[in-house]
Structure 1
Amino acid sequence: MIKTSGLSYAALAQAVNRLGYLAGKTLNYSKSAVSRWIAGEQPRNPVPELLLEVFRKKLGREFTYRDLGFDIAEADIEIRSLWYSDLSTTLDVAPLMWSHDVFRRDLLKSSAVAVGAMTAPARNFLPFEPDRCRSRTGSIPVSLGDVKMIREVAHQYWRWDSKYGGGRFREQLVYFLHSHVAPLLGGRYGEKVGCGLFSAAGEATMFAGWMAYDMASLGLAQRYYTQALRMAQAAGDRQLGGEILTCMAYVANSAGAPDDAIQLCEYALDITKGRVPPRVQSYIYSVLSRCLASAPSSPRNRPAALTALNAAERHFARPLDGSENAWVAGIDFRGLQTQAAHVLSELGMTGRAHEAISVALDGRDESHRRAVAFCKLYLGMVHVKEDDAEAAVAAGDEVLNLLPGLETARVQQGLARLQREINSLGDTDPIRTFNERARTLGDRS
């Protein structure tokens, strides 16, 4: 196989090291290691999976461990789930990922973010070319009714995520993917049903990725988004693809890679421009604004963040046309203003931030508890910037009131940040009381 690929031993070792870096692994193999592998030594994980990927890219077809001469029964799903492969491979990898997430949860939950691989799926997604053959000949018949069922179940979990946080029901959604969606993907269906099936499965996978992100499992979220993006391409669903790329930007931003986050949003805008409803473009612009505001090192980012926010509001003002995904259509003006509140708070524009927070909170009910918690966090940060310790503590107390029953690591992280900022304002009785209450609630959770 090495001879067929045209790779020297040194070049193969370099290719493995490079792919390892993209997958978040530090490797330093040389041509002597390749010689040992050829002599019969079986390399340790993740090398076998990396070798498969090297030869797949070089020779343009799939290979197995047996083709490499390795006696390995199970794929290294932590590595394989990062690759953006052909559709048949994705239909093997995604169900295997779900299965591992159900039965060997800690293996994937602790997966590190592969910063080097952050934008690679997006580059494979562009130029956008849907798969031509989406039919399958499995034993289980699949209908459009099954597609509708997947969407309805996934959207219910999405609603619960908004109310209770990503940690409350993520395991149940993943089990649904494993027990119900995986058998359908391997079933029997034609082109029309296949197109809908891949779109619905991709959306449900995206939701599971979002819940992982909400619980600060960034590496796990990255892997879910990568597989979801491949399904979106198979479905020919630009709208879903743009939404997934935008979700990936959240992960990149949280992983300390703001430039990658900005690039992912720009990819999302490129793939959706003029081809999706304006509400989708509004969502992408709002996240782009957020990422720009989080990367203040470039003097151009501040005005660019405001420009993106204005574009989000401009696109939002255009009417819905009925072709939006249900969850995007459900992002109302208050949701947009929640994003605006974060951006304006980060930029220190306290007056406008107060206005955005007021709109974002107006009429919010229990179904959006996490969004309310974030608004209160942003409000607290604005008060800190105004040196108003009493008001900042009051906002923090309101966040603490929302914590029982809300399982979201992002809110916990935001609260810890707010607490640090409040403590920088002094050592008063209200601040000490707030710290004690935060500690007590943190111990309970």
Structure 2
Amino acid sequence: MAEPNTTLAELITESGMSWAGLAKRVNNLGTDEGQALRYDYTAVGRWVKQGQKPRGITPTLICRVLSERLGRTIRPHDIGMEGMDSLAARGLQYSPDPEITLDTIRDLGAAYSAGAFNAPFILAALAAPSRDWLLASFEELESERGPRVIGMKQVAGIRDMFSLFQEMDVMRGGGHARTALISYMNTTVIPLIRRDHQPDVQAALYDAAAEQAYLIGWMAYDDGEHGLAQRYLIQALRLSQAAGNQVLGAHVLAGMSDQANLLGHSYEAVALARAGLHGITAHDSAACYADLGILEARALARLGDARAATKALNRAETTFNMIDQDNEPEWARFIDRAYFYGEAAQCFRDLQQPTEIDRFADLSIQECQAQRRARRGGLSQAAVAMAHIQRNDIDAAAENAKIVVRLTASVNSSRCLEAVTDLQRSLKPYASVQGVQEFNRDASQMLGLVA
């Protein structure tokens, strides 16, 4: 037998609202979020008397209504409505309150660590966060901000941990240390932020937390956990606004663009990259601006617009050559020759221009070999293999494909695994070629071990 939701009933009574009034306000907020909700007093009655839990973003909207009326923050667990659907929906929201953002990051991490998070990537959720961030960044530009002095040892420690985990991601792949980073975020970073701090220190802590939330999202993306990745990236975008760090926000949008393009949503990927480009200038961070530019080019290439893609790539390369790493943030360190030229090679792979693939991929591979970066090296080597397939040089394609398998076996990255399976599909018509048979044998063995 269903049990009544007494906590919700008590809060509604305290707020002084009628059931009909609550339903009407929830519907109005839903309209603001692009949701056509049709609740009335009977629906609220079912929530209260029968303990029914509405799906989607409705629990979050109920909390917003009650928070407005009561003058304090009400969260889904306060009204007895926190469940998987509610958390998944909350993870897609760009909250007006950074405290709710911290709650969301904590709850996402707890659910993932417990093996209880399994939510899809939602295309429709991409537009609002980038819009809200861009509007907030323009407001920030119009205000006067003095220099920030960050002196807390804890902030420095968080940044040191970020550097360590980013290095693990770059060298070993997104699946290598993500669980450990989530645990560090939930047990150390979030509790520290919630202490009382001076405004400049509070902003620095939001900044460090945004970096780590982004990195968790990026690791999840690289490991194929796209629903989790999307939610962490949206929350990282919100924290970057709380920190007043427009460049970091643009960097998060770059990650969101990269993910959207990988999942086949290239129009949205272009829009996200351009939102980032509109929010900052090359003088704010040449590395971030170049990254946004190359990701815009990649999405345009996926759309088959060779002229626009080449133009965007050329602009990005000009900016890339302006980078002074001494003046860039730690999170931008990966935006180097190995990365940038590897992304350029992927552009020309999609445009089927093998000569240009070779030119840029070779530059990337040289850097990857010097740095012993297997993930990026594998992705760039896969582009070389595709260039040989486009030339119909199957023997050379197979030899390069075997190198991709060897590099992929040393990292934990679903993107590298997808590169291997993509090569298998592309080489399927040539299954009788000995080199292809050897590649397929190596790939099947490696993929079997991963599974």
Q: Which residue is equivalent to 1:324?
A: 328
1:204 corresponds to which of 205, 212, 224: 212
Q: Which residue is equivalent to 1:84?
A: 94
2:365 corresponds to which of 361, 365, 380: 361
Q: Which residue is equivalent to 2:399?
A: 394
Alignment of 1:14-33 (within 5 A): none
CA distance in 1, matches of 2:293, 2:367: 24
SS of residue paired to 1:101: helix
Q: Which residue type is aligned with residue 305 of structure 1?
A: A
What displacement does 1:130 show?
5.3
2:446 corresponds to which of 431, 436, 441: 441
What displacement does 1:3 show?
6.9
> Deviation digits for residues 421-440 of structure 1, max 9, x if unmatched?
01134532322232122111
Q: Which residue is equivalent to 1:93?
A: 104
CA distance in 1, matches of 2:66, 2:277: 30
Q: Which residue type is aligned with residue 43 of structure 2?
A: V
- Counterpart contact for 2:285–2:328, Cα < 8 Å: yes
Q: Which residue is equivalent to 1:349?
A: 353
CA distance in 1, matches of 2:301, 2:382: 17
CA distance in 2, matches of 1:61, 1:284: 40
CA distance in 1, matches of 2:327, 2:201: 18
What displacement does 1:375 show?
0.7
SS of residue paired to 2:116: helix
- Counterpart contact for 2:25–2:65, Cα < 8 Å: no
1:33/1:82 CA distance change after superposition, 3 Å:
farther
> Deviation digits for residues 4-55 of structure 1, max 9, x if unmatched?
8997968956965995x87xxxx98665863653673433353542433674
* RMSD (CA atoms): 3.2
1:42 lines up with 2:42 in the alignment: no
SS of residue paired to 1:407: coil
Q: Which residue type is aligned with residue 389 of structure 1?
A: I
2:177 corresponds to which of 151, 154, 169: 169
- Counterpart contact for 1:13–1:33, Cα < 8 Å: no
> Which has the higher mean CA deviation after the structures are superposed, 398-407 or 386-395?
398-407
Q: Which residue is equivalent to 1:429?
A: 434
1:107 lines up with 2:129 in the alignment: no
Q: Which residue type is aligned with residue 99 of structure 1?
A: A
1:52 lines up with 2:79 in the alignment: no
> Which has the higher mean CA deviation after the structures are superposed, 232-241 or 249-258?
249-258
> Deviation digits for residues 297-340 of structure 1, max 9, x if unmatched?
xxxx3211111110111011124174311231442223211111
Q: Which residue type is aligned with residue 230 of structure 1?
A: R
CA distance in 1, matches of 2:102, 2:410: 35
SS of residue paired to 2:175: helix
Q: Which residue is equivalent to 2:310?
A: 306
What displacement does 1:80 show?
1.2
What displacement does 1:232 show?
0.5
- Counterpart contact for 2:282–2:289, Cα < 8 Å: no
Alignment of 1:197-236 (within 5 A): 197-236=205-244
- Counterpart contact for 1:277–1:321, Cα < 8 Å: no
1:157 lines up with 2:165 in the alignment: yes
TM-score by length of 1: 0.85
1:260/1:363 CA distance change after superposition, 3 Å:
closer
Q: Which residue is equivalent to 1:136?
A: none
Q: Which residue is equivalent to 2:344?
A: 340
1:116 lines up with 2:115 in the alignment: no
SS of residue paired to 1:122: helix
Q: Which residue type is aligned with residue 304 of structure 1?
A: A
Q: Which residue type is aligned with residue 208 of structure 2?
A: A
SS of residue paired to 1:168: coil
> Deviation digits for residues 229-277 of structure 1, max 9, x if unmatched?
1111011111101100110111222233211111110110011125512
What is the number of residues matched between the two proteins?
423
CA distance in 1, matches of 2:32, 2:250: 28
CA distance in 1, matches of 2:54, 2:426: 43
> Which has the higher mean CA deviation after the structures are superposed, 315-324 or 342-351?
315-324
SS of residue paired to 1:82: coil
Gaps of 5+ in 2: 1-14, 144-149
Q: Which residue is equivalent to 2:8?
A: none
What displacement does 1:368 show?
1.4
What displacement does 1:180 show?
1.2
TM-score by length of 2: 0.84
1:394/1:269 CA distance change after superposition, 3 Å:
same
CA distance in 2, matches of 1:60, 1:340: 53
% same residue: 22
Q: Which residue type is aligned with residue 132 of structure 2?
A: N
SS of residue paired to 2:53: coil
Which of structures 1 and 2 has the larger relative contact order (alpha carbons within 8 angstroms, sep 6+)? 1
1:414 corresponds to which of 412, 419, 422: 419
